[in-house]
Every structure is written in C-alpha cells, then in structure tokens.
Amino acid sequence: MLPLKVKHSGSGSPWPIFYPAISKGINSSYEVLRTGKYVIRLGMIIYYYNNESKSYEERRVVRAGFKQTLYPGHAEEVSFPLYIDRDSPDGLYLLRISPFQEGVGCFFQFGDSPLDIMVEKRGEYIYFEGDG
C-alpha cells in the first residue's frame, strides 16, 4: 500500500464524497449518491515506461475515496494499492496521483500539478526514486 496525506489547499468548494440527489425537480438533499457524478476522489494512473518506443503506456487507473467530505484546509490519509505485480514487466513506472471529479476529469487536466512518483520494478521488488 502507498499511504498519502491529502490536503484540500483551495479556498473554494468542499470535495464531496456524495452529491445530493435531485428527484423530479425537488432537491432531496437527504439522499446521497456515493457513486454518482461530481463526487471527488483521489486517482492514481500507473504508467509503464516502454524503453523501445521511449514512451509511457497507461497500465491501470486506481481510485480511492475519501472517508468524509474534504473542506478547504482539511486533510485526510488515503492509501493506494500499487498494482504492480510479479507479472508486470521490470522497468520504470510513473505513478501520477491527482484528485478527480467523476464525470468532469482530473484536476491536473485543469491546471493543478499532480504528484508524480517514479518507481522501478526489478524482479519481485519495487524501488522508489532514490532507493537502491
């Protein structure tokens, strides 16, 4: 698992873990849709660096939800499974981590900087940048 602490450093809207349901034009704010459009989660895109083509290939997208709505200035810990297993080819991987809004896109697509982590898989081991 890759543990991360995520802080909402903006000053605008909170990051909802649910979005109020709207039923027949009436706002039913007591109903929640945890899997619906506009929910904000943390995403990690795992890219494999292909030495032959000298390009990154998307291998997998992993999503992690927050336990509670994240308000500006608040933080929460989130853990990701790495999903680079024994069958994955040895080599370099880029883990690109960013909040995203369901049905809208990743925050980095709109100007935010993602967290990019380089790792290298050698045999059964994964080394983070700076490790042996």
Q: What confidence tens digit (pLDDT) does each residue in 70-92 have? A: 999 999 999 888 888 888 999 99
Q: What confidence tens digit (pLDDT) does each residue in 97-114 have? A: 999 988 889 999 999 999
The encoded tokens of residue 61 equal 């997208």
Please list, in sequence order, all residues whose beta carbon lies within 8 angstroms of the beta carbon of residue 31, skipping any fewer than 6 positions away: 20, 21, 23
- The whole-angstrom separation of Cα 116 and Cα 96 is 5
- The whole-angstrom separation of Cα 102 and Cα 19 is 11
Rounded to two decimals, the pTM is: 0.80
